Structure 1
């Protein structure tokens, strides 16, 4: 039998005894008197049994243990042995640290600085200034950096290009450059354009294909830019890949639609001039539109101009548009003609205008004795005149003089119809031959109506001339040609022609024609009106 424990309830003057006998010996706990306690505390073994017994006693708040009889000596020996063990453990620890030691943070920083210094030394050796690379994660060795530089060279970038944007050296060839270029190639961006593409927007090499590039491409397609045109848009304006979807791009498109640009034309407008996506409405687009309105061009007409020539939005208002308008007035262009001039030839407000006008004035003054004050009249009738080249104009003047016109007559024809300086010479020769051989009219008729050369010989001149001959009436070239087919048929019903009907100047421009919707738009609106009527019937 093994005594597990024996304890007594603690009371004043009573004894609490706790035995720790062997496991096979157990007794019940009971209360012992002071005398019994004394006998038990002096025994380690029970006579006759030979079993070790450990007793713990507690009187009031004191505790005693049978193990503490020779505890001082044992504690000293245990302390000395434990101290020796700790010393051995320390020695073992020192030995293990010497075998598996790691460099300190200071040593690591020193090594990193030394490697970066070698990389910087390599870059300086090939002409790259690494001042902006501090804080940028770079290759550990100069060999890896050399591979990056060589890869950029294979793309066509020079040392100067890299110095313009040295942060490109922080792009990994495998992790950054190759995935981006591979994605652009799959879109259809031509490899021959990669060099210029990266020169204009090297930041694209930092981009993530999934997070940054693919959403922009999807957004462009959502603006009705055809998938086949997306690569051309990116080649023309690679910076668009860095724009936020709901930022400048969306606001510029919304404004254009708001002023009257047809929603279905947006895709074509952006394809031809994607720079619009980067223009701020308040700073660039809106001020230009409002200025053109102030000159007398209706807002809807401005919208039509943007549909046909979206690049006019790139003209600097203060640096080009306003100065050019003033230059036109300085060359005797009347203010009332400014809207029609810009509507016919919007580029006139964006080019370097004054040198061109000076050149044209000098040329015509020497060739046909043009009065400088008449230059404004030429511009009013044909704004494109300012961009005509010298050689073609001289050839046309030479043709007219060879036809028998004097310098004064030629000058009068040029002022009355500047188009004679730009028409196809072969067609002009055929028209003049028909005029001489078949119509047999005096040259003065062409001086009075030089626009004769602008009408189609087979489609207009010959059919109408034959009807005039058949009718047996005599009329001016202007009466015969300067009208629509319907109006001409009405004139053929006249019995006599007593007074020449006055027609508008054939070179004049009607602003309302610019604002008229296209046929497709008209059909759409008519279809919508029919649907509305049907809805009213079923209401």
Structure 2
């Protein structure tokens, strides 16, 4: 589609802003309303977006994703929405960052989408700066339907027993992305998989409260391959249930970059059995280079034997003091 002569001002405006003609044609195709926008309105919206802290070099990408932004009435639509979002922010860059991530946030209605969304989350115990964190860090959430999408996730969390002391609100603030997942295709299969490993309902609740990202991962692509790897290294069913119950991210960490190097170091360098990792699952949490390798080297120099928890479950100064390694500080 070529831009007609009657819309040549649009072509020249966007060309001056660094758009290629192909890209201009694309945004015109995506948003027919641009054809009726005057150059002055384009300039006003562009300048206003710059004035709130969006870098000009990022504007072409933002507008390509959502050309409708340039058709919004500056005073009736754009400014009020950004002022509303600003009241939710605690840092100057949060609103520009949210717009960059999901420009469509500006096209939604304050009365019909933003206010009901805020009310929905407040009813779950989310308030104050937490509301800003929830919406500005995951701006796509404004596009979700409260009735057909968000309520379904909340009902699912209620059904696994997360009903006390604003628990659901805390989970949503901790991991807002959970609201974007399909209950039947992702959340329910992962929780059923975790229960099949031997976790109790109480264990499952702790997983969701402390590591909600775990139930958002794909069972076949991530959880099962990690489980299979642990089995090949000799972990039994009971040990795996203990591992997952106490440190659930063991099921979502990279086998190649995290699990395998640690287990190999445990067995081949530290000369310990995998049962020690089963007894202290937090072994998979600690930094490999800065904590695990470094402390093992210091202990070997003094010929000190200790449990993994004694070795790792403290800050470095306490570790040095505990094993009389202060003289080794260089």
What interval of TM-score do these two structures reach, taking the shorter chain for normalisation?
0.7 to 0.9
**Equivalent residue of 2:207, what SS?**
helix
Work out which of the residue numbers 390, 394, 397 in structure 1 matches 2:260: 394
Residue 361 (structure 1) aligned with residue 223 (structure 2) = no
- 2-structure distance, mates of 1:160, 1:382: 51
Is the Cα contact below 8 Å between 1:393 and 1:422 reproduced in 2?
A: no
Tell me, which stretches of 5 or more residues in structure 2 are unaligned? 325-330
**Equivalent residue of 1:395, what SS?**
helix
Matches within 5 A, 1:19-30: none
CA deviation digits over 1:176-213, x for unaligned, max 9?
32221122112222222223322332112221111221
CA deviation digits over 1:488-508, x for unaligned, max 9?
xxxxxxxxxxxxxxxxxxxxx
Is the Cα contact below 8 Å between 1:327 and 1:353 reproduced in 2?
A: yes
Matches within 5 A, 1:128-277: 142-149=4-11, 151-152=13-14, 154-155=18-19, 158=23, 161-162=26-27, 164-172=29-37, 174-224=39-89, 226-277=91-142
CA deviation digits over 1:391-444, x for unaligned, max 9?
3322222222234525xx1x2123222332342234223433554565844xxx
Matches within 5 A, 1:453-468: 453-456=311-314, 458-463=316-321
TM-score between the two structures when normalised by the length of structure 2: 0.82
- CA gap 1:416/1:146 in 2 versus in 1, 3 angstroms: same
- CA gap 1:401/1:158 in 2 versus in 1, 3 angstroms: same
Name which structure has the greater RCO, CA cutoff 8 Å, separation 6+. Answer: 2
Matches within 5 A, 1:103-122: none
Farther off after superposition, 153-162 or 288-297: 153-162
| Count of matched residue pairs | 318
Q: Which residue of the partner structure matches residue 451 of structure 1?
A: 309
Output the aligned Cα RMSD. 3.0
CA deviation digits over 1:91-144, x for unaligned, max 9?
xxxxxxxxxxxxxxxxxxxxxxxxxxxxxxxx4xx5x8xxxxxxxxxxxxx434
Residue 344 (structure 1) aligned with residue 210 (structure 2) = yes
CA deviation digits over 1:455-492, x for unaligned, max 9?
225444454567xxxxxxxxxxxxxxxxxxxxxxxxxx
Q: Residue 308 of structure 1: CA displacement?
A: 2.7
TM-score between the two structures when normalised by the length of structure 1: 0.53
CA deviation digits over 1:252-287, x for unaligned, max 9?
112222222232432333322233334333333333
Is the Cα contact below 8 Å between 1:331 and 1:376 reproduced in 2?
A: yes
**Equivalent residue of 1:379, what SS?**
helix
- CA gap 1:214/1:159 in 2 versus in 1, 3 angstroms: closer
Higher Cα Rg: structure 1 or 2? Answer: 1
Q: Which residue of the partner structure matches residue 185 of structure 2?
A: 319
**Equivalent residue of 2:162, what SS?**
coil
Is the Cα contact below 8 Å between 1:396 and 1:422 reproduced in 2?
A: no
Q: Residue 327 of structure 1: CA displacement?
A: 2.5
Residue 428 (structure 1) aligned with residue 286 (structure 2) = no
- 2-structure distance, mates of 1:183, 1:462: 56
- CA gap 1:440/1:170 in 2 versus in 1, 3 angstroms: closer
Tell me, which stretches of 5 or more residues in structure 1 are unaligned? 1-122, 129-141, 467-539
Which protein has the bigger helix share? 2
Matches within 5 A, 1:54-69: none
Q: Residue 358 of structure 1: CA displacement?
A: 2.6
- 1-structure distance, mates of 2:10, 2:208: 51
- 2-structure distance, mates of 1:303, 1:297: 10
Q: Which residue of the partner structure matches residue 327 of structure 2?
A: none
